[in-house]
Amino acid sequence: MSIRDRLPPALRRGPAFWRRSVQARVVVSTVLLSAAVVGIVGWFLIQQTRDGLLDNRVAAVVQEAEGETEAARTDLAAASRLDLDESAQQQALVEPIQARGATRGFAVVLSPPVGEDLRLADGGAKFTEGLDLSSVPATLEDHFDSLSATAWTYTDIRTTRDIEGLPEGPGIVVGSQVRLPADDKTYTLYYLYPLAEQQETLALVSRAMLIAGVPLLLLIAGLTWLVTRQVVTPIRMARRVAERLAAGQLQERLRVTGEDDLARLATSFNQMASNLQKQIRQLEELSRLQRRFVSDVSHELRTPITTVRMASDVIHDARPFLDPVTGRAAELLQKELDRFETLLADLLEISRFDAGAAVLETEDVDLVDVARRVVDMTSVLAAQRDTRVVLHDPGYPCVAEADVRRVERIVRNLVTNAIDHAESEDVEVYVGADRQSAAIAVRDHGVGLGPGESAMVFNRFWRADPARARTSGGTGLGLSISLEDTHLHGGWLQAWGRPGEGAQFRLTLPRLLGTQLRHSPLPLVPTDARETA
């Protein structure tokens, strides 16, 4: 069992539904394009919102940091150098800022003096308790290795324990320098501000856009489905009516409502259907009259042709007593009467097919025996045409349920047609069979068939070269009758040919009558033709 067979029925029908439903493809395509547009616009809006939030936050924290630094400078300027030592001044500088940071939600770090080539990790720094000093980026430390103006950068805030008002995560660090009166050295203050509020705001905006985007896409899908339904429904109705017209229900028409383009299309469709119905009925009547005429004429000619045959037989038998010219005329009369009777028999057979009166008398038929009998039967004609008919016996029976008289007539027509066009080359007959079908192929190496002639060759009275004589005495109806006999069996009669490479006709019959053919045991294109193509 294949993977497709193991799928649920709904999934197996999915690809076929997608191929056949214009409405489904339009809805899905519109939703996908809308989703792409909504996604691009949403991404752009989120980026703009993010940039706006960050720019505002950066401006606010830089201003606040500069205010804290300026306040610290003012406090230090008001203090006497002799009041506090270096360590005490550092403590007096940091503690007020730490206190305000605890209420405002930021942390502070006081670095060692600038110019002493010391890093925060080397010790000596004063900072908000619980803050991980790796939160200050090394690039910003490098920036403040010398005297510099206020600078900032983004960072990832880390803590060694929970700090109230200072969550871990993305943040902004602002650096600003201050000089202590006690030692007249410059120190760098790092202010760390979290971006938690901005993150929450951005997440809220993203969720809002997502929540709004999904219903929007569903709304677009619904509107697209409704709009396409208004267009597709009349098209589906037209398709159903067209299918019923093709099935022979010529009275079917589209219902016309409104005056829009679809209504005008339906009106034009109905007018076309009415004209087609009228012409088809005229053709059917003409065909019926033609079939009736052929049948009546064929039957009516049987009586006079019988009388003429009797008179011709008398004259033909009296040839020894006639002068040579009259004797030759008697022979020609006999020959043309034979041909005329064959044509009359073919016309009667065609009229039976047209009237639907042809029936099968089936039995198990070995196509090898049929081919052998036809080869023996046509050997004299082949010798007259300086050619041979060669049977390639498969070595096993090729049995099919068929009407032996009709099958033999088909093969005889194919072989005599091949002899007529063999150009003194051998005519080869192949027989084959498999479990479902049996086939006979007749190959000649004569003039062949031109492009498009392989389909026309089965038309009544059709000839590839009108100037070419029918040396085998054919009526021009043999292949048409053969095709009708093949259709009665539910088989195939196909032709292949190339100019100068000959032709091959293949008869394929189901081994069991009523079974649908799917393939043939013999190739339609000969092997030698494939090699030279």
Mean pLDDT over residues 446-455, rounded?
Answer: 81
pLDDT at res. 11: 56
Between 392 and 309, the higher pLDDT residue:
392
Of 358, 386, 418, which residue is a domain's last?
358
d(CA 193, CA 295): 107
Confidence of residue 297 (pLDDT cuts 50, 70, 90): low
Domain boundary (156, 178, 196) is at 196
Q: Is residue 118 part of a domain?
A: yes
Q: How confident is the model at residue 142 (pLDDT cuts 50, 70, 90)?
A: confident
Q: Is residue 113 domain-resident?
A: yes
Flag whether 227 is in a domain: no
Which residues, 6+ apart, have CB-to-CB distance to 264 below 8 Å?
none
| Sheet arrangement for strand 169-180 | 126-127, 107-110, 185-194, 169-180, 151-157
* Domain interval for residue 343: 253-358
Count: domains in the chain: 3
Token representation of residue 387: 């050619």
Q: How large is the C-alpha radius of gyration of the chain?
A: 50
Neighbouring-strand partners of residue 431: 440
Q: What angle do CA 461, 467, 472 make, to 5 degrees?
A: 65
Pair (527, 380) in one structural domain: yes
DSSP codes of every residue in 161-191: S-BTTB-SEEEEEEEEEEEETTTTEEEEEEE
Instruction: Please check whether residues 349 and 387 belong to one and the same domain.
Output: no
pLDDT above 60: residue 299: yes
In a domain, 28, yes or no: no
User: How many Å apart are CA 492 and CA 490, to the nearest integer?
Assistant: 7
Q: Is the dihedral of CA 409, 410, 411, 414 positive or negative?
A: positive
The reply to whether 492 and 388 lie within a common domain is yes
312 shares its domain with 376? no
If asked whether residues 519 and 382 sit together in one domain, one would say yes
Query: Please, what is the average pLDDT of the chain?
Result: 82
Give the Cα separation of 364 and 350 in Å (integer).
Answer: 25
- The answer to whether residues 187 and 269 belong to one domain is no
Query: pTM of this prediction?
Result: 0.50
| Residue 181 belongs to some domain of the structure | yes
Q: Are residues 412 and 500 in the same domain?
A: yes
Q: How far is CA 108 from CA 94, 328, 506, in A?
A: 8, 135, 97
Instruction: Give the tens place of pLDDT for each residue, 15-29.
Output: 776 777 777 888 888
| One-letter amino acid for residue 43 of the chain | W
CATH of the domain at 351: 1.10.287.130
Q: Are residues 516 and 403 in the same domain?
A: yes
Is the pLDDT at 184 greater than 90, yes or no?
Answer: no
DSSP 519: -
pLDDT class of 400 with cuts at 50, 70, 90: very high
